[in-house]
Amino acid sequence: MSTIGPTLEAYFVSRLVSQRQASPRTINAYQDVWRLLLHFACQRSGKTASKLDFVDLDAAVIAAFLT
C-alpha cells in the first residue's frame, strides 16, 4: 500500500487549507504539479499510481521531471 495518497491528502487538507489558509488557486496549483509528477514517475517506473511510494520519488526522478 502506497503512503503517497494519504500523505498528500493530509498535506492539502491539514497544512494548506487549515494552517496556511491557502487560496483555492494555490491548492489547485499544488495538486496539478503533484499530478504531473506522479504521472511522470509512473511512466518511468512502470508502476501504477497506487503502487508508487516515496522511495520512487528520488532525486534522479525529481531532476528528470524538472528537466
Quickly list DSSP for 17-56. Answer: IIIS---HHHHHHHHHHHHHHHHHHHHHH---GGG--GGG
Nearest to 38 by CA among 28, 29, 48: 48
Which residues, at least 6 apart from 51, have a Cβ–Cβ distance to it below 8 Å?
Answer: 2
In the chain, what are the domain boundaries? 4-66
Q: Is the pLDDT confidence value at 4 over 80?
A: yes
pLDDT digits (tens, 9 = 90+) for 16-64: 888 788 888 988 898 899 999 999 999 999 999 889 999 999 999 999 9
pLDDT class of 1 with cuts at 50, 70, 90:
low
